[in-house]
Structure 1
Amino acid sequence: MKPILIRLFAIAAGLLLPYAQVQAASPPAFEVSVSGHGQPVILIPGLASAGAVWDDTVARYCGQRQCHVLTLAGFAGVPAINAPLLPNVEQQLSDYIANNHLAQPVIIGHSLGGYLALKLASDHPRQVGKLIIVDALPALGATQLPSATPVQLKEVAGNVRDRMLAQDAASYAANQRAALATMISRPADIARVAAWGQNSDRVTVANAMADLLQDDLRQAIARIQSPTLVLGTWIAYQQYAPRAAIEQMYRQQYSALPGVQLAMADTARHFIMVDDPDWMYARIDEFLKE
Structure 2
Amino acid sequence: MSKLAAAILTCAALLSAGFCGTASAQTARPGVVPVVAAENFYGDVVRQLGGNHVQVTSILSNPDEDPHLFEASPKTARALQNAALVVYNGADYDPWMDKLLAASKGKGRTTIVAAQLMSKKSGDNPHLWYDPATMPTVAKAVSQYLVQADPANKADYDARLGVFLASVKPIDDKVAALKSQYKGVPVTATEPVFGYMSDAIGLDMRNARFQLAAMNNTEPSATDVAAFEKDLRERRVHVLIYNSQATEALTKRMLKVAHDSHVPSISVTETLPAGKTFQTWMTSQLDALSVALQGKTQ
> Greater share of helix residues, 1 or 2?
2
| TM-score (norm. length: structure 1) | 0.31
| TM-score (norm. length: structure 2) | 0.31
**Comparing both chains, which one has the higher relative contact order based on Cα–Cα distances under 8 Å and sequence gaps of 6 or more?**
1
Structure (1 or 2) with the larger CA radius of gyration: 2
